Chains A and B, each alone.
Chain A
Amino acid sequence: MFDEPYRWIDAIHQRRDYIAEQLDRATPVVGISVSEGILLASFHRQNPKIYELYDRIAMGGIGHPADLETVRGILLNMAHVEGFQRSSTDVSIERLALFGLAPRLKAAFEDVSAPPIILDVLLSEVGKTGRDDRFIQVSFDGNLQRATEMMVLASTEEMEEKMTGLLRDRIPAGERTLAKVLPVVSRVFMDILFSPEELGMDESGNLLSPEKFSECESRLFEDRQWEGALQDRNAPARIKKVPYSGDKSK
């Protein structure tokens, strides 16, 4: 069936379109370096998206829950075996992504005879200082992207760029503490998930109707749950839950 090259290429294109379509409705996952560590945040409907993988290392993912679980299992096994055999400091997201996950996802993506793996993954590694924090995104086709300060995992590049831009514009200058960043992240989710009209804002982003904004926030929590986690750089062996910090006044 796929013995002719163009048929295989055609199948790959269809596969890519199919996976992109499946990921289309996913709520983004944000990873952002703060003074206290790394904040990971998202909303989910049914299944959590943010998980602790190993000391200093966490993952966020969008996609099919069963595929996320598969990948989570692979990464957990690899990290713990490697950490046991050598040292916990030898386990890094670079090694997990480059040697553990990317080759498998690429092979799975290109095996058009098998069902596709539907997911994108964000790996985060908290360092001793903010300068040491690392993010890697591994796509369903095995492609890697790296970042240091923050990373948004979303279904499209446009969404990632928009959200990253909003975060960069709105996070106050100076020391980037969790207390400063969390309300901004919460608010940016509102701007991503609802249109300005729904939020009661004009074209310039001024809030005209706080009632409409509150209504959107209530709707958001009716069918989704907030998921916030801090990878504490002073206690990196266990992620901590971070409560939602909406700001209805703006």
Chain B
Amino acid sequence: MERMRALRIDKEGRGGFVPPNTGYFPDLLKQEGSYRQVRIHEKGPVSGAAHGTTILAFHFRDGVLVAGDRRATASNRIMSNRVDKVLEIDDSALLAISGSPAMALEMARVLDHSLKFYRRSQLTEISLEGKVRILAQLLKENLPMAVEGIGAVVPLFVARDPATGAVRIYFYDILGAHFEGVEFSVGGSGSPEVQGILRYLDRWNPRPLREMSREEAIVLSLRLLETASYFDSATGGVDSQDPIWPVIKLLTPGTLETVDERTIAEIYRNEVMRVR
């Protein structure tokens, strides 16, 4: 075992034996004291922690559409209406976050660095399953914060499989269990309505979700988010006086596109506001 270890020079320039680099970035952060779990030992949910969201992902003809509203709430207070909840981890993976923004954004940051660190340290790309597992591990490590009631994170992870080029949707529970959302997945406090509509459309619409065009998919995502905001106060709608548009990203076997605000605004005005 000793022979399997790698030589390293320490800060004083001395040689020493340390375990070889596994490419797992959270281990490095822990070694450097930069990634600690926080426990506050308070019973029940803590007021003031920001949460509430609607995020969704579904297959369409070209790939997968991922969308999210922009609102963050703490109890009955709106903390922000400009939160980006659909994050690009790299050019082949998207993370949509629901739950505690503080923990979710930190998790996204760790994941982003983890994938880059793996690629650069191991000199190879990590597999899709490897990416999915890193996020599962981060969620598992976040469990103390989740059970304290202030740090639960329930993300959607959408990534291109480098082996086949296929785009896949994964959803998680707070323990880190992950499942593939075959046709669609949703998350956040506004998700029950969205989930019901997506199930209905995919099952009984003349054409299933996977046959929708790019524009049809964008229209549907805007209508779904508008519906979620109608029922769920923690999901941000579009204020006609000061419009803040949802974030919509499209991941296909060959591209990753952020739908620009002008396109969203035009579709929203023509296909969401004026249609009865």
Contacts and interface: CB of A to CB of B under 8 A. Distances in A.
Interface of A: 51-55, 66, 69-71, 73-74, 76-77, 80-81, 83-85, 103-111, 114-115, 117, 237
Closest 7 CB pairs of A and B: A107-B13, A108-B13, A104-B13, A80-B117, A84-B113, A81-B32, A108-B9
A103 B13 contact: yes
23 contacts: A53-B120, A54-B116, A70-B7, A70-B8, A73-B6, A73-B8, A73-B21, A74-B9, A77-B32, A80-B116, A83-B113, A84-B25, A84-B29, A84-B34, A84-B109, A104-B9, A108-B9, A109-B13, A111-B14, A114-B15, A115-B15, A117-B9, A237-B116
Given A70-B6, A109-B13, 7 more contacts: A51-B120, A71-B9, A73-B8, A81-B34, A85-B34, A103-B13, A237-B116
Interface of B: 6-15, 21, 25, 28-29, 32, 34, 109-110, 113, 116-117, 119-121, 123
A36 B117 CA distance: 25
Nearest to A81: B32
Contacts of A237: 116
Contacts of B119: 52
B17 to A, nearest CB: 11
B7 A84 contact: no
Nearest to A71: B9
A233 to B, nearest CB: 17
A104 B15 CA distance: 10
Contacts of B29: 81, 84
A144 B140 CA distance: 44
A71 B8 CA distance: 8
Given A104-B13, A108-B13, A69 B6 contact: yes
A71 B116 CA distance: 18
Contacts of A73: 6, 8, 21, 121
Contacts of A103: 11, 13
Contacts of B117: 76, 80
Contacts of A106: 13
A237 B120 CA distance: 11
Nearest to B13: A107
A84 B110 contact: yes
Contact of B15 (A71, A80, A108): A108
